[in-house]
């Protein structure tokens, strides 16, 4: 879902992004890598959590997959990253914005994601 007034970008490299015009909120869905393992995905999230003093990684079951989640701040920007393994590729969902966990628009975008 792309909310009214938001921008949408398909980078044609496995990454899709929607964001508000002010750049204060963003949701990105990305598919990357080949022949990866679940431990590769978990270790990547753990390294990010350690680097930015984030949470987790926490295991979250959603969209028919097991995601590893961390929430952290980078350059005063509050973010969450969910990463899962599907057919050897890493599926990542990144969310950015001050209150993205509770913001109704952000949550509507997040809940509209379908992994094909």
What is the model's pTM?
Answer: 0.93
DSSP letter, residue 23: S
Mean pLDDT of 53-61: 95
The fold of 6-111 is Protein Transport Mog1p; Chain A (3.40.1000)
- Who's near 91: CB < 8 A, 6+ residues apart? 29, 30, 31, 65, 83, 84, 85, 115
Q: Is the pLDDT of residue 31 over 90?
A: yes
Check residue 81 and give its pLDDT. 97
* pLDDT computed for residue 24 by the predictor: 92
- pLDDT computed for residue 116 by the predictor: 84
92-102 mean pLDDT: 95
Asked if pLDDT for residue 19 goes beyond 90, the answer is yes
């Amino acid at each position: 879902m792309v909310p009214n007034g938001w921008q949408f970008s398909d980078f044609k490299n496995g990454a899709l992004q929607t964001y508000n015009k002010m750049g204060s909120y963003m949701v990105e869905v990305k598919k990357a890598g080949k022949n990866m393992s679940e431990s590769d995905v978990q270790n990547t999230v753990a390294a990010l959590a350690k680097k930015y003093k984030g949470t987790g990684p926490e295991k979250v079951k959603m969209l028919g997959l097991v995601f590893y989640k961390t929430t952290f701040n980078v350059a005063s920007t509050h973010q969450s990253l969910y990463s899962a393994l599907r057919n050897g590729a890493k599926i990542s969902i990144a969310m950015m914005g001050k209150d993205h966990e509770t913001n109704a628009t952000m949550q509507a975008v997040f809940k509209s994601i379908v992994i094909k």
